[in-house]
Amino acid sequence: QVQLVESGGGLVQPGGSLRLSCAASGFTVRYSAIGWVRQAPGKEREAVSCISSSTDSTYYADSVKGRFTISRDNAKNTVYLQLNSLKPEDTAVYYCATDGSAWCYSAAYVSYDYWGQGTQVTVSS
pLDDT at residue 107 above 80?
Answer: no
Q: How confident is the model at residue 100 (pLDDT cuts 50, 70, 90)?
A: confident
Q: Measured in whole angstroms, how far is the alpha carbon of residue 27 from the centre of its chain?
A: 17
Confidence of residue 116 (pLDDT cuts 50, 70, 90): very high
Q: What is the CA radius of gyration of the chain?
A: 13
Express each pLDDT in 5-55 by its tens digit: 999 999 999 999 999 999 999 999 999 999 999 999 999 999 999 999 876
b/e code 83-108 from CB counts within 10 Å (16+ = b): beebeeebbbbbbbbbbebeebbebe
What is the residue-wise DSSP string for 51-67? E-STT--EEE-TTTTTT
Nearest Cα to 71, choosing from 60, 83, 80?
Answer: 80
State the CB neighbour count (10 A cutoff) for residue 31: 12
